[in-house]
Structure 1
Amino acid sequence: MLFLAACGDDRRVVADDAPDQPLIAQDAAEPSETLAAVRARGRLNCGVHQGLVGFAYTDNRGQWRGFDVDFCRATAAAVLGDPNAVRFVPLAIGDRFEALAEGRIDVLWRNTSWTMGRDAGERLEFVGINYYDGQGFLVRRSLNLTSAAELDGARICVQSNSTTALNLADYFQVRGLRHEAVMADNEEAAREAYAREDCDAFTGDVSSLAAARTMLGNPQAHAILPDVISKEPLGPVVRRGDDQWSDIVRWTLNALILAEELGVTQENVDDMAASSSDPQVRRLLGVEGGFGAMMGLSDTWARDAVDGVGNYGEVFERNLGTRSSLNLARGLNARWDADPRGLMYGLPVR
Structure 2
Amino acid sequence: MQQTCVIGAALASCLAAGTALAQDDATLAAVEARGVLACGVNAGLAGFATVDSNGVWSGFEVEFCRALAAAILGDPALVDFHALPADGRYRELVSDDVDVIARGGAWSIGPDVRRGLDLAAVSYFDQTGFLLPVELGVSSPKELDGARICLVDDMATGPALDDYFHAAGIAWQPVAATGDSEARSLYLAGDCDAYARPAAELSAVRATFETPLAHVIVSDGSSRVPSGPVVREGDDSWANVVRWTFNALLAGEELGITSANVREMAATPSSNPEVNRLLGTEGEIGAMLGLPQDWAVDALAAGGNYGEIFERNIGENTPIGLARGLNALWAKGGLQYAAPFR
With normalisation by structure 2, the TM-score equals 0.90
Corresponding residue to 1:219 among 209, 212, 217: 212
Contact 2:120 2:242 in 1 (8 A): yes
Contact 1:335 1:344 in 2 (8 A): yes
Corresponding residue to 2:336 among 320, 340, 344: 344
Give 1:120 deviation, angstroms.
2.1
Give the distance between the partners of 2:224 and 2:178, measured in 1 at CA.
22
Asked whether 1:311 is paired with 2:282, we answer no
Which position in structure 2 is the counterpart of 1:114?
Answer: 107
Contact 1:56 1:65 in 2 (8 A): yes
Q: C-alpha deviations, 1:52-100, integer Å up to 9, x for none?
A: 1111111243211111111111110000000110000111234432311
Give 1:323 deviation, angstroms.
3.6
Give the distance between the partners of 2:34 and 2:212, measured in 1 at CA.
43
Query: Structure 2 counterpart of 1:344, which letter?
Result: Q
Q: C-alpha deviations, 1:117-139, integer Å up to 9, x for none?
A: 21122222111100001101111
Q: How many residues align?
A: 321
Q: Is the alpha carbon distance of 1:106 and 1:54 closer, same or farther for their aligned partners in structure 2, counting shifts above 3 Å?
A: same
Paired residues for 1:85-124 under 5 Å: 85-124=78-117
Q: Name whichever of 93-102 and 189-198 sits farther off.
A: 93-102
Identity %: 48
Query: Structure 2 counterpart of 1:327, which letter?
Result: G
Corresponding residue to 1:178 among 152, 171, 193: 171
Q: Is the alpha carbon distance of 1:226 and 1:102 closer, same or farther for their aligned partners in structure 2, counting shifts above 3 Å?
A: closer
Q: Runs of 5+ in structure 1 lacking a partner?
A: 1-27
Paired residues for 1:14-163 under 5 Å: 32-163=25-156
Which position in structure 2 is the counterpart of 1:269?
Answer: 262
Paired residues for 1:157-306 under 5 Å: 157-275=150-268, 276-306=270-300
Q: Runs of 5+ in structure 2 lacking a partner?
A: 1-20
- For 2:90, what is the secondary structure of its paired residue? helix
Which position in structure 1 is the counterpart of 2:12?
Answer: none
Give the distance between the partners of 1:259 and 1:110, measured in 2 at CA.
20
- For 1:232, what is the secondary structure of its paired residue? strand
Which position in structure 2 is the counterpart of 1:327?
Answer: 321
Give 1:217 deviation, angstroms.
1.9
Q: Name whichever of 105-114 and 329-338 sits farther off.
A: 105-114
Q: Which has the larger radius of gyration?
A: 1
Give 1:113 deviation, angstroms.
2.0
- Calculate the aligned-residue CA RMSD, in Å: 1.6
- For 1:96, what is the secondary structure of its paired residue? coil
Query: Structure 1 counterpart of 2:25, which letter?
Result: S
Q: Name whichever of 244-253 and 322-331 sits farther off.
A: 322-331
Give 1:183 deviation, angstroms.
1.3
With normalisation by structure 1, the TM-score equals 0.88
Give 1:29 deviation, angstroms.
10
- For 1:45, what is the secondary structure of its paired residue? strand
